[in-house]
Amino acid sequence: MNVVIDVRTNVMAFAEEFKRLNEEWITANFQLEESDIKFLSNPQKYILDKGGTVFIALYNNKPVGACALLIRDGLTCELVKMVVDPQYQRQGIGYQLGQALIAKARNRGFSRIVLEGNTKMEASVALYRKLGFQEIPLEFDVHDTTNRKRCNIFMELVLIHSEYFI
């Protein structure tokens, strides 16, 4: 399958598809939360304008997957809103999206990538592990995760070893 990863750093193309894919995935498995509605309603404002990046997987120019790199601080970025249309799952698209995000994070000099997930989503957790992420205790995260009730696993991928994380 020939999938093209469209990297958006300044202008949000495919905003409606980004929103639709994520809303469909979330509502099929959980409930939309306030933070979801905020990010999905305006990814330009909450991701791109804050220095983040959106990745859209295109198959025959049709958006079939997405994820975003959200900046947490000068050392840490976060993998958020990763989704692949159910019709296109199990074809390596999530892996390609993850690889593109990891490459971008390395290129931008981040020390680590973090993500929040749910162990109910076994395929997602397996994908994150395949990408090199490892589970760390939720209390290790210095950011407030109480707004995301569905998250019960916290993972990180260390890109540059630093005393900051030891």
Which helix (DSSP H) or strand (DSSP E) does residue 79 occupy?
strand 76-84
Catalytic residue among 16, 46, 128, 139: 128
Sign of the torsion formed by the C-alpha atoms of 131, 135, 136 and 139? positive
Whether residue 88 lies in the annotated active site: no
What would the two tokens of residue 86 be?
């159910």
Is 122 annotated in the active site? Answer: no
Of 16, 23, 59, 116, which one is the catalytic site residue? Answer: 116
What is the distance between the alpha carbons of residues 87 and 104, in angstroms, rounded to a whole number? 27
Is the Cβ–Cβ distance between 24 and 61 less than 8 Å?
no
Single-letter code of the amino acid located at 159: L
Active site residues: 116, 128
